[in-house]
Amino acid sequence: MVFASPKSLFLSQSRTMKYFIACIGLLFLLNSCVDIFDEIIVHSNGSGTYKYSVNLSASKVKINSILALDSIDGQKVPSLDEIKNKIALYKDKLDQKEGISNVTVDANYDDFIFKFSCDFTSVAALQNAIRDIVKEESRDKNNPLYNESWLSWDGKQLIRSIPAFQSPINRLKAEDQEELKKGKYITVSRFDVPVAKCDNANAQISPTKTAVMVKASTYAVAQNPTLLKNTVTLENP
């Protein structure tokens, strides 16, 4: 997933998205207050459900002002219809990938709240499907980032991470950085059996021991995506 300024985002939507989901809400990320919720449910047989939501409602006035422009620095600003069409395209592409089913996108363009979910037959199928779409839509099909593994499951251990990305946070105005600090990035991993341990010091295991949460500010994650990296080991069944 790539975090970029609105200017670079408008240059090429697909180029700025390392994952399919990113196209839904991260168009305006670095100068907006944004809440991101990222959840994966992994069953004992490796199948499961992936959910991702982006809430930009706190920045909807700013987003609407950007959408009202014809261009930024000589680059065309996509219309709302163009954004809707791009999201629909990615949804259809993902729906056709092997091992992926029940793809849904709930897009609220009044408050700019976007929710995505899909079922997968295996964690590998989920990762491969998203990677394939990114490569198909990208101009730079040989980008080494596309070969990174951010999800791994061996039946007992789940490894989750966010691929490295270049963040222009330091080039943002101070007030824009403060807005980003208000946002939250939450990842949740759920399982059928209890969790034995996890290696992220900030991870919280639920009272039932079947879910793990890691939380940080969107600003902090943009600076250091390894904050959300976590290896979760389950108890023996």
pLDDT at 144: 66
- In this prediction, residue 86 carries a pLDDT of 84
Query: Which residue type sits at 54?
Result: V
pLDDT (tens place) for every residue of the chain, 237 residues total: 333 333 333 333 333 333 434 443 344 444 567 888 999 999 999 999 999 998 888 878 877 887 888 876 676 777 888 888 888 988 999 999 999 999 999 999 999 899 999 999 999 999 999 888 877 877 776 776 667 788 999 999 999 987 655 455 555 566 666 777 788 999 999 999 999 999 999 999 999 999 999 999 888 887 788 899 999 999 986
Please enumerate, as own/partner, the contacts of 48-52 that have beta carbons within 8 Å and a separation of 24 or more: 48/119, 48/120, 48/123, 49/117, 49/118, 49/119, 49/120, 50/117, 50/118, 50/119, 50/120, 50/126, 51/115, 51/116, 51/117, 52/21, 52/24, 52/115, 52/116, 52/117
What are residue 108's DSSP bridge partners?
Answer: 113
| Cα–Cα–Cα angle for 47, 129, 131, rounded to 5 degrees | 130
What one-character DSSP code corresponds to residue 99?
A: T
pLDDT at residue 80, as a whole number: 85
Q: What local confidence, expressed as pLDDT, does residue 5 receive?
A: 38
pTM confidence score: 0.82
pLDDT score at 19: 42
Length of the chain as a residue count:
237
Q: Are 13 and 21 in contact (CB under 8 A)?
A: no
pLDDT of residue 27: 44
